[in-house]
């Protein structure tokens, strides 16, 4: 047998082997065992399954077409190196499909873990609330959460490119395992949701030209405004978090950025995150503007006592001073910003911060003490805001906070799963009612 035919037969066998392995990649609905309350939200699961199934079908079609082409005489008429190159691209595509499957596998498989799966489902519900604002300014994508090792949270935003191509059908939020379940989980979660919301409102692109306008004059403040622009994507996510859950966001952020001094004070212009020391001051300033209260100055004094600036180099202190000097104007600019997609509303107005003022949150916590059931009747982000305020006021211990958060997550997950089941049952009954007259007629 000519060497070319042997080479083609080998490539065909490799291609058929790809198909056999592809057939082993089953839908998550057939692989994962989980209690109903731990289920991924139905829109998210449907979007994930549909996206991955479409990718598997396309890949199978490409491999089968390649096999048919190998069996024809056309494959013999071109250099075998070109045939092999075509197969190499097919295999890369196969690996990309597996990579995309693995991205969502972490979300799905953790739902089978005792307690953790239900808590994650509760975080899905909280995420849906965190991204919602009244007014119908955008269609929010489904959001799903999973745990991973590491220090900080992260998001793979919906409608962004996945490895190997294609748009991500859902937003996927990674929560550090160290925060589950405890202080600061809401801060990390809502910050990452803020990234998705900022993309939906096109906040970064609408703010950048404004910030560049402050850089046109030869003022010493120019470098500060340049840094605000450099850090704006992370800053708007922090702003969203403070607007949604109040001081709980800032206290949670303190837990994340309380690192060795060298990291807290370091300024890295290539890092999209603000310098931790400045980031905490900025979060406190957000709070003072959105939720005026003496607590922000107290928290700021505590932060500065942890990391005093007196021993910094003069140039370093001068840069911090420029950032602090421009911070009030920058925060007011952000709070009053009116992106086109908000149709004339400012960010402060759209996020309805009046409902989360500290005095109201304190009163709600006192009401919780009188009636345990009240905490289960409010929106998740409002519940997180009440808990965060109580923690900052010393009204709730870390042990109590962890217990309350765990119970809330479980309740949100249970209620969401039962509501989804009821909707599905109603749809099934409606379809049956529509079909039943046809059945009678046919008889």
Q: Where are the domains of the chain?
A: 3-129, 202-356, 358-417
Structure tokens at 356: 């989360």
Q: From the CB of residue 432, how many other CB atoms can be counted at a distance below 10 Å?
A: 10
**Residue 266 contacts by C-beta under 8 Å, 6 or more apart in sequence?**
275
Length, in residues, of the chain: 443
Note the pLDDT of residue 255.
87
Note the pLDDT of residue 99.
87
Instruction: Write the burial class of residue 79 (CB in 10 Å: 0-12 exposed, 13-18 middle, 19+ buried).
Output: exposed
**Contacts by residues 302-305 (CB-CB < 8 Å, ≥ 24 positions apart):** 303/254, 303/277
Note the pLDDT of residue 409.
94
Cβ contact 196:157 at 8 Å: yes
Task: Kindly give the confidence (pLDDT) of every residue in the chain, 443 residues in length, as a single tens digit, with 9 standing for 90 and above.
Answer: 477 888 888 888 988 988 888 888 888 877 777 788 888 888 998 999 899 899 999 999 999 999 999 888 888 888 888 888 888 988 888 888 888 888 888 888 888 887 888 999 999 999 999 999 999 999 999 999 998 877 778 999 999 999 888 899 999 999 988 777 766 899 999 999 999 999 999 999 999 999 999 998 888 899 999 999 999 999 999 999 999 999 999 999 998 898 999 999 998 888 899 999 999 999 999 999 999 999 999 999 999 999 999 889 999 999 999 999 999 999 999 999 999 999 999 999 999 899 899 999 999 999 999 988 899 999 999 999 999 999 999 999 988 999 999 999 999 999 988 877 666 666 666 666 655 544 333 33
Q: Which DSSP state fits 41?
A: P
CA dihedral 379, 382, 387, 393 (to 10 degrees): -160
Among residues 204, 234, 378, 351, the alpha carbon closest in space to that of 291 is found at 351
Structure tokens at 242: 């403070």
For residues 341-376, one letter each, b for 16 or more C-beta atoms within 10 angstroms of the residue's C-beta and e for the rest, the string is ebeeeebbbbbebeebbbebbbebbeebeeeeeebe
Q: What are the distances in angstroms from CA 334 to CA 250, 327, 339?
A: 17, 10, 10
Q: How far apart are CA 290 and CA 281, in angstroms?
A: 14
Note the pLDDT of residue 439.
38
Read off the pTM: 0.86
Note the pLDDT of residue 364.
95
Q: How far apart are CA 285 and CA 404, in angstroms?
A: 29
What is the SS3 assignment for 225-250? HHHHHHCHHHHHHHHHHHHHHCHHHH
Concatenate the DSSP letters of all residues of 112-166 into one string: GSTTHHHHHHHHHHHHHHHH--TT--S-PPPEEEEEESSSS-EEE-TTSBPTTSS
**Residue 426 contacts by C-beta under 8 Å, 6 or more apart in sequence?**
none
Enumerate the H helices of 32-74 as residue ranges. 42-71
Structure tokens at 417: 């799963």
Q: How far apart are CA 125 and CA 37, in angstroms?
A: 11
Q: How far apart are CA 185 and CA 179, in angstroms?
A: 5
- CA 111 to chain centroid, in Å, comes to 17
Enumerate the H helices of 165-260 as residue ranges. 185-201, 203-213, 222-230, 232-245, 247-257
Among residues 200, 271, 201, the alpha carbon closest in space to that of 231 is found at 271
Q: How far apart are CA 373 and CA 347, in angstroms?
A: 32
């Amino acid at each position: 047998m000519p060497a070319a035919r042997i080479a083609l037969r080998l490539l065909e066998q490799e291609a058929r082997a790809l198909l056999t392995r592809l057939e082993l990649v089953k839908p998550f609905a057939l692989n994962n065992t989980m209690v109903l309350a731990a289920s991924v939200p139905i829109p998210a699961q449907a979007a994930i399954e549909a996206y991955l199934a479409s990718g598997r079908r396309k890949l199978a079609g490409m491999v089968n077409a390649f096999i048919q082409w190998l069996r024809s005489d056309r494959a013999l008429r071109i250099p075998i190196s070109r045939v092999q190159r075509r197969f190499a691209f097919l295999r890369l595509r196969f690996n990309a499909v597996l990579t995309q499957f693995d991205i969502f596998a972490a979300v799905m498989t953790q739902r089978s873990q005792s307690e953790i799966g239900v808590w994650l489902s509760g975080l899905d519900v909280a995420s849906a609330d965190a991204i919602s604002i009244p007014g119908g300014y955008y269609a929010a994508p489904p959001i799903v959460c999973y745990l991973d090792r590491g220090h900080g949270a992260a998001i793979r935003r919906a409608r962004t490119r996945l490895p190997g191509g294609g748009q991500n059908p859902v937003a996927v939020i990674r929560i550090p395992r160290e925060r589950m379940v405890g202080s600061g989980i809401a801060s990390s979660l809502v910050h990452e949701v803020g990234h998705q919301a900022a993309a939906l409102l096109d906040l970064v692109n609408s703010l950048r030209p404004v910030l560049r306008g402050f850089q046109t004059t030869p003022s010493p403040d120019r470098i500060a405004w340049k840094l605000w622009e450099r850090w704006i994507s992370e800053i708007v996510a922090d702003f969203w978090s403070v607007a949604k859950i109040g001081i709980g966001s800032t206290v949670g952020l303190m837990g994340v950025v309380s690192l060795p001094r060298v990291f807290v004070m370091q300024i890295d212009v290539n890092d999209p995150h603000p310098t931790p020391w400045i980031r905490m001051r900025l979060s406190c300033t957000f709070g003072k503007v959105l939720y005026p209260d003496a607590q922000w100055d107290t928290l700021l004094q505590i932060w500065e006592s942890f990391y005093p600036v007196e021993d910094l180099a003069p140039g370093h202190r001068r840069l911090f001073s420029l950032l602090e000097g421009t911070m009030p104007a920058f925060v007011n600019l952000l709070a009053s910003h009116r992106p086109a997609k908000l149709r004339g509303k400012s960010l402060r107005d759209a996020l309805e911060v009046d409902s989360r003022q500290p005095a109201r949150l304190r009163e709600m916590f006192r009401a919780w003490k009188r009636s345990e059931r009240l905490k289960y009747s409010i929106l998740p982000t409002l519940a997180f805001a009440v808990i965060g305020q109580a923690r900052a006021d010393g009204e709730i211990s870390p042990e109590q906070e962890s217990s309350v958060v765990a119970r809330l997550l479980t309740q949100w997950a249970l209620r969401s799963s039962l509501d989804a089941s009821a909707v599905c049952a109603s749809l099934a009954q409606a379809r049956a009612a529509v079909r039943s007259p046809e059945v009678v007629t046919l008889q």
